[in-house]
Amino acid sequence: MRYLRVSQESAVIMAFAGKSVFGTVGLCFALLAGPVSAEGFAALSPADQAAAMHRGVNVLEDDPVQKNPSAARFQPRLFARIREAGFDTVRLDMHPFAHLRDGAIDGAWLSMLDRMINASLDAGLTVILDVHDDLSCQESAADCRTKLRAVWSVLAPRYRSAPNRLLFEILNEPHGVLDAATWNGMLREMLTSIRATNPARNVVIGPTDYDGLWELGTLDLPASDRHIVVTVHTYTPVTFTLQGARWVPSAKDLSNVSWGSDAEMAALVKAFDRVKTWSDVHQRPVFLGEFGVYEKAPMDSRVRWLSSVARVAEAHGIPWCYWQFDTDFAVYDIPHDRWIAPVLKALVP
């Protein structure tokens, strides 16, 4: 999410009116270590996986832990709070590109990731390990491919024995230089790499244009690989959901924009009808990986939109994951260690 919605808005309107710092020994650890569970890995169909995911929340995107593993604001104990509140899934939005050194990943960062994955699995959650480096990919598609290949060559073997409640998401919101043709080729290459060590683990993949649900028709997945959960994101209409967001020129000066008319509700249902039709035709379960409203929107409309999206997705058999746990769009107030009640109730009534 974040600094991306300007180009998405036009699409919405059209669609809907090194060398490692820990050396060779550390690299061997990266390939062999990771969370080990007595549960082990057992193949799970993507449909059963999606049915178990139900309700989720994105975590860690804006956390200091992304740059300094010792500076985490989000503490592992909060995974239990998430589970107790009625969520089944967390999407770990991670930025490994900054920790790559000659094809290896910094050992301290990997240890932090181990802790987060272990704690979330121990809390009984389904866990999506999401490479959230889509903005870095805008520098060069070729450079993005090289970095993604390096990341998954470490992460996939590292977690090959983790329970089936751990899913891999190849890349968050491919867009820009990662057009449909480029992305379809890249995702197949990454799948091949992942399948070398995880032949039956479910992998989350979305279409180009920021995982835009209107782009599902451009997604070209290998027909023989059935262990895939397709993801889409929605922030429609951005003039409501992103009002007051400084990084969206068309919405940054907006305020007090409401949502919830009959026409707006009908458009929401129609959008999910299209997603469900695509899912049924292609026999691929779909997961709503992000949706949210910036906190400058009026709370009553914010609650109405969130509740409507969540309930409409559920009615279409689509599990979802809210954007996001804390900082902006927040459902949780970490400084005061408490849920933001209206937002939580809209999501988990």
Give the DSSP letter string of 258-302: ----HHHHHHHHHHHHHHHHHHHHHT--EEEEE----TTS-HHHH
**Distance from chain centroid for Cα 180:** 19
Please report the pLDDT score of residue 1 as a whole number: 57
- Residue 266's pLDDT is 98
Alpha helices in 168-242 (DSSP H): 180-195, 208-211, 238-241
Cα separation, 242 vs 238, whole angstroms: 5
Helix, strand, coil distribution of the chain in percent, nearest 5: 45, 15, 40
Q: How far apart are the first and last CA of the chain?
A: 25
User: Phi and psi of 276, rounded to 5°?
Assistant: -65, -40
Distance separating alpha carbons of residues 245 and 3, to the nearest angstrom:
10
Whole-angstrom Cα distance, residue 147 to residue 128? Answer: 19
What was the pLDDT predicted at 43?
Answer: 93
pLDDT tens per residue across all 349 residues of the chain: 543 333 343 333 223 223 232 233 333 333 344 544 446 789 999 999 999 999 999 999 999 999 998 899 999 999 999 999 999 999 999 999 999 999 999 999 999 999 999 999 999 999 999 999 999 999 999 999 999 999 999 999 999 999 999 999 999 999 999 999 999 999 999 999 999 999 999 999 999 999 999 999 999 999 999 999 999 999 999 999 999 999 999 999 999 999 999 999 999 999 999 999 999 999 999 999 999 999 999 999 999 999 999 999 999 999 999 999 999 999 999 999 999 999 999 999 9
CB of 80 closer than 8 Å to CB of 123: yes
